[in-house]
Amino acid sequence: MAEPVVWQGRITTRPKLLAGAAVLCAPALIWLAVLVVLPGMALAVLCLLTRSPQGQVEATLTSEHLRRALGVTEAGFAWDNLRILGRTLLAAAVTSFAAIALAFLTALWIASRPARWRGTLLAMIAVPLCTNIVVRSYAWMLLLGPTSIAARVAAFVGWIEPGTSLYPSVFAVYLGMIAASLPFAVLTIYSSVERLDWTLVDAAKDLYGSRTRVFLHGLVAQAGPGLAAAFVLTFVPALGMFVIPDLLGGAKHWMVGNLVQQQFGTSRNWPYGAALSLILLVLTVPGVLFLTRRRSREGESGGGTPRTTFGTGAAAVLSAVVLYLPLSAVVVASFFSTRSGLSLGAPTLAWYQLLFRDERLWEFVGNTLRLAGVSTAISTVLGTMLAISLERFPWAPKLRTAADAALQIPVVMPDVLFAIGVVIALGFLRRFSELFEPGMFSMILGHVSFQVAFVTLVVRARLASVGAKYQEAAFDLYSSAWSLLWRVTLPLLAPGILGGALLAFTLSLDDFVISFMTSSPASTTLPVHIYASVRRGLSPELHALSAVLLAATVLLVLAAQRLSRRATIGP
Amino acid sequence: MVSTPTDQSAPGPSLELHGIRKKFGESTVLDGVDLDIDCGQFVTLLGPSGCGKTTLLRIIAGLELPDAGRVVLGGRDITRTPAAQRQVNTVFQSYALFPHLSVRENVAFGLRSRGVDGAEVRRRVDAALELVQISTLAERRPETLSGGQKQRAALARAVVNEPAVLLLDEPMSALDAKLRTKLQSELRALHRRLGATFVLVTHDQDEAMSVSDRVIVMNGGRIEQEGPPREVYDRPRSRFVADFVGAANVLAVTGREGNMLRTVAGVIDVGEVDGTATHVSVRPEDVRLHRCDSRVLDDNSSLGIVEDVIFRGDCAEVFVGPMSLRARLSPAEAPLIGDRVRIEFVNNRARVLHG
């Protein structure tokens, strides 16, 4: 008979507690193990296997793919891949640095606004973040196209030939990447800027003369760790970007993400793709380790009144332009009749009418919503169960920190690596059942594995802030374990669960990479359709569709903001 | 309906603790605690932080399991009984009112857990709210209540279940002084009305003295002394108790003359003295100071110089050096800083201590 222990108001035994925890966390963990962890480990094996001429994987060992990935051939050193690698690292580093600098100043500006504006300002940052990457990228194509103002100015100045566009080019790729990284960077940095101690800035002003030194010693010194973390959170995903280089850079500016995606797509060379993925994975490891080692310093808010010098206002304006100019261009273009050419043409709703009559489009909308709905439902249940098992059971400290670290990985990892894992897992499972062919079912599997970590993080944060004291109070008042769950835990968790579900829903609606690599023609979603359309050529119907999506995103973000305001029934 | 005052002829459940031991990791928090509490008593566990009083309370509540020892309620061993099955309710230090429920729903929680039917729940909740005087706040949410109102709500939530033992974990630590005094007397009245056993935990000795029938002074996981408040105050048995309960001047004994003990602050008459007395405890209010200009006195008095005077409204605290003596006088009698004073002790009020 096991030794009785008391845990959060309940007398039970350790084995019973662990059994309860295991039941709660098993579904999510099994899901993640099969679709994320095992495939990740399989990469190491896969890269050593052979590719048959038909594109199948054969069980013969060879180091050919690894060597090719690293540029080692019989004819000597091949620089192509290494050049792509170097280009990727440079692009990720430069754009992350630029994005962080701009984001820091913008976050400072937002933090120094009156409190009632901040929610709205942050929501405005969140809208582009919740818009899918394809729309955000091709919007730049519109802005930099041959007939755009930017291109005409550049031609006038002599940068480019008249009539040509500013893309594909390194400039366009960098611009696109900065714009893509900016929203997440702002939100991440904002959470540490919120807690800054502004009295230290006052002290610095008191001690130093120049504004530069005040900025450096008063602000940057404090925000340093937060900035470093934000840099990693921007740099690592940037390494894996492939939509932006594809649309804005073309074949001459390929990055590692494009190479990897090609091997698992049209080229059907999985072992080579695995070798490339391994390299990409290795590049991301230092960043992930850095993040998971960091102890987040909770609580301690600083004091003092935020100041707005140091050019933060200008930075905020620049951010607004970078984030909204392309999107605005798309929305504006959707209301005018021109297809191409120098002038906009007459205002018209024709494109919207076309849109609403396009039956195929409605099918895609249906697919997107169905996918988002089902995957959100599953991931919310799994994620909530996982979060409860992590917070409400006495894990050994080491196990808990490992779990914390593991949960942060999907947030950081480049999308393309995640998608590869899912593709490999599905490829393996396909041998056992046709269910795992590309299609809606596979897409759901892929989306859930991505969403679970996010839901768990959100619910866990809510659980932690609610604390275990209500549990003790409930047991003191004769509650049973079941009654505790229904009458206390779930009601208190509700805002967190809803927030997690909303986040998961948005992630699914937006997702391009996983959907792209696991979809079939019958299960095309809107982002995948938009990408295919963009490759065929920009059209105003596309702009109309994007404008509608944008409007839907704005509504969603506003709804989420209202919800989070009501959810302040804190302990 | 809330119970009527104790019927003396019907013995209720008494609470007994036998040999309670508890360790958290390497530190021993409770080191063999034995305690008997009769039904209907108001008992306070008094002690500094870390003395084990809260742990002991939680063991009675069922929120902790002792490593050794037994908890017996009304003759039944409840040491391993889950909290949910004990006739014991707790008023938590942070109140722990469920934020998503109204005050009424909070108070009704325990009754609903036990399946009491709707009409009865309503009746009892109304009565409990009436008892703590927050009937008008029934539909409010906890976050809209003030500290004092939350405390009453937490109290109502506990007493509505008519527990055999009511536990209070530093319930007034978050309230301001005036509110605290008011609620203390209300708590006392509530106890008289309900007749249940109350066990209060606090580090505030004023609180302990004003509400309890019995004070149990704890230190380092053990009970140092217990008894009615007056007794613990007037006759502290150890240095710790003398110092913790009320202020005390603890003077080292430097010599002995019959029934008189010589200390640095003069000679004190303590009645019966045994040879092992090491210190004498004198309350500040038992010290008298007389302005004196002559430098020579008889052998039994001591001279001192006033180092500081602190005016506290209804009294003045006078610090006399060089013997670090604290005296409490009425403001009218207080000397000035720098005055030379003769120290006198009110007879038979000093206590002999043995370390």
pLDDT band at A96 (very low <50, low <70, confident <90, very high): very high
Q: Looking at the structure, do residues B129 and B253 belong to the same domain, yes or no?
A: no
How far apart CA A462 and CA A460 sit, in angstroms, is: 5
Partner residue facing B83 (CB), from A475, A492, A570: A475
Give yes or no for A5 touching B (CB within 8 A). Answer: yes
Contact A500, A453 (CB under 8 A): no
Find the CB nearest B92 among A5, A473, A480.
A473
What values do phi and psi take at A304, rounded to 5? 85, 165
Q: Which residues are paired to B44 by β-bridges?
A: B200, B215
pLDDT over 70 (residue A188): yes
Residue of B81, B88, B143 with shortest CB distance to A569: B143
Q: Is B259 exposed, middle or buried (0-12, 13-18, 19+ CB in 10 A)?
A: exposed
Does residue B271 sit within a domain? yes
SS3 A509: helix
As a whole number, mean pLDDT of residues A7-28 equals: 84
Least confident of A210-214, A389-393, A480-484, B31-35: A210-214
Residue A465 has pLDDT above 50, yes or no: yes
Query: Percent of chain A having pLDDT more than 70?
Result: 93
Structure confidence at residue B9 (pLDDT): 40
Q: Which of A63-72, A260-269, A521-530, B309-318 has the lowest mean pLDDT?
A: A63-72
Could you report the per-residue pLDDT of A324-379, keeping only the tens digit for each?
999 988 888 888 876 655 566 778 888 888 888 888 888 899 999 999 999 999 99
* Closest to A82 (Cα-Cα) out of A68, A70, A97, A99: A70
B62, B92, B113 member nearest A469 (Cβ): B92
Of A351, A316, A281, A269, the closest CA to residue A109 belongs to A316
Same-domain status, B198 and B219: yes
To 5 degrees, how large is the angle CA A320–CA A322–CA A327? 90
Q: Which residue has the higher pLDDT, A5 or A174?
A: A174
Tokens for B77, please give them: 């061993």
Indicate yes or no: CB of B96 within 8 angstroms of CB of A470.
yes
What share of chain B in percent tops pLDDT 90? 41
CATH code at position B260: 2.40.50.140
What does the alpha-carbon distance between residue B79 and residue A6 come to, in Å, rounded to a whole number?
A: 12
Using only the alpha carbons of chain A, give its radius of gyration: 25
| Subunit contact B63:A9, Cβ cutoff 8 A | yes
Q: Is residue A300 over pLDDT 60?
A: no
The Cα A302–Cα A200 span in angstroms is 9
pLDDT at A477: 94
Selected residue with higher pLDDT from A393 and A180? A180
Average pLDDT over residues A487-500: 89
Average pLDDT over residues A242-268: 88
- Give the pLDDT of residue B263: 82
Q: Which residue has the higher pLDDT, A536 or A291?
A: A536
Let me know whether B210 and B304 are in one domain.
Answer: no
Using pLDDT thresholds of 50, 70 and 90, give the confidence band for residue A91: very high
Distance CA A145, CA A340 (A): 10
In a domain, B256, yes or no: yes
Token pair for B343 = 């120290």
Whole-Å CA distances, B266 to B174, B253, B322: 42, 10, 12
Q: How far apart, in whole angstroms, are the C-alpha atoms of residue B169 and residue B95? A: 9
What is the third-level CATH fold of A346-571? MetI-like fold (1.10.3720)
- Phi-psi category of residue A519: left, alpha or beta, with phi > 0 → left and psi -120 to 50 → alpha: beta
Q: Give the residue from B215, B237, B259 where a domain finishes.
A: B237
What are the tens digits of pLDDT across the range B149-173? 999 999 999 999 999 999 999 988 8
Q: What is the pLDDT of residues B18-72, one digit of tens each?
A: 999 999 888 899 999 999 999 899 999 999 988 889 999 999 999 989 999 999 9
B165-169 and B197-202 strand pairing: parallel
Compute the average pLDDT of residues A262-286: 87
A299 pLDDT higher than 50: no
Which tokens sit at A203?
């002290």
* Mean per-residue pLDDT over chain B, rounded: 86
Give the pLDDT confidence score for residue B44 in this predicted structure.
95
| Helix (H/G/I), strand (E/B), else coil: A6 | strand
Mean pLDDT of A530-535: 90
Q: Are B122 and B49 within one domain? A: yes
Which pLDDT band holds residue A571 (cuts at 50, 70, 90)? very low
Q: Is residue B259 scored above 80 in pLDDT?
A: no
- Number of domain units in chain B: 2
Question: Is residue B5 a part of any domain in this protein?
Answer: no
Q: Are B32 and B122 within one domain?
A: yes
- Residues 145 through 174 of chain A touching chain B, CB cutoff 8 Å: none
* B6: pLDDT strictly greater than 50: no
For a pLDDT cut of 70, what percent of chain B falls above it? Answer: 92
Question: Tell me, what's the pLDDT at A71?
Answer: 75
For residue A4, the chain B residues in CB contact (below 8 A) are 65, 80
Residue B170 to residue B45: CA distance in whole angstroms = 10
Stretch A251-259: mean pLDDT, rounded? 88
Say if A3 is an interface residue toward chain B (CB within 8 Å). no
- Strand spans (E) along chain B: 15-24, 27-37, 42-46, 68-73, 76-77, 88-91, 165-169, 197-202, 214-219, 222-227, 249-257, 260-263, 266-269, 279-282, 287-291, 302-311, 316-321, 325-329, 340-345, 351-353
Residues B105 and B231 in one domain: yes
Instruction: Please state the rounded mean pLDDT for residues A212-240.
Output: 83
**Is B255 found in the same domain as B141?**
no
Locate the DSSP E strands across B83-208. 88-91, 165-169, 197-202
Cα(B251)–Cα(A465) distance, integer angstroms: 50
Taking Cα atoms as reference points, which of A86, A418, A409, A93 lies closest to residue A234?
A93
B2 within some domain: no
Q: Which residues pair with B46 in a beta bridge?
A: B202, B217
Domain boundary assignment for chain A: 346-571
Chain A residues touching residue B83 (CB < 8 angstroms)? 9-11, 472, 475-476
Please check the confidence at residue B77 and state whether its pLDDT lies above 50: yes
Quickly state the pLDDT bin for A298 (edges 50, 70, 90). very low
* B152 and B297 together in one domain: no
Q: What is the dihedral of CA A170, A172, A173, A174, to 10 degrees?
A: 80
Pick the closest to residue A561 from A114, A121, A187, A132 (CA basis).
A121
Question: Which A positions 240-299 lie with beta carbon below 8 A of chain B?
Answer: none
Phi, psi for residue A294 in degrees, rounded to 5? -65, 130
Residue type, A107: A
Tokens of A392: 């409400």
Q: Which of A104-108, A159-163, B219-223 has the lowest mean pLDDT?
A: A159-163
By three-state DSSP, how is residue B290 classified?
A: strand
Q: Are A472 and A488 in contact (CB under 8 A)?
A: no
Yes or no, beta carbons of B83 and A476 under 8 Å apart: yes
User: Among residues B196, B212, B237, which one ends one of the domains?
Assistant: B237
B343 & B201 share domain: no
pTM of the model: 0.80
Give the residue numbers spanning the domain of B187: 15-237
The pLDDT assigned to A10 comes to 77
Coil, strand or helix at B72: strand
Query: Are B224 and B94 in a shared domain?
Result: yes
Cis peptide before A495 (omega within 30 of 0): no
Q: With contacts defined as CB-CB under 8 Å, which chain B residues touch A487?
A: 109
Residue B192 within any structural domain of the chain: yes
Flag whether pLDDT at A53 surpasses 50.
yes
Give the gap in angstroms from C-alpha A15 to the nearest C-alpha of chain B: 17
**pLDDT on residue B155:** 94
Q: How far is A193 from chain B (nearest CA, A)?
A: 28
CA of A24 vs chain B CAs: smallest distance (Å): 23
Instruction: Give the nearest partner residue to B96 out of A473, A483, A569, using CB atoms.
Output: A473
CATH number at residue B30: 3.40.50.300
Burial A222-243 (b: 16+ CB within 10 A, else e): bbeebbebbbbbbbbbbbbbbb
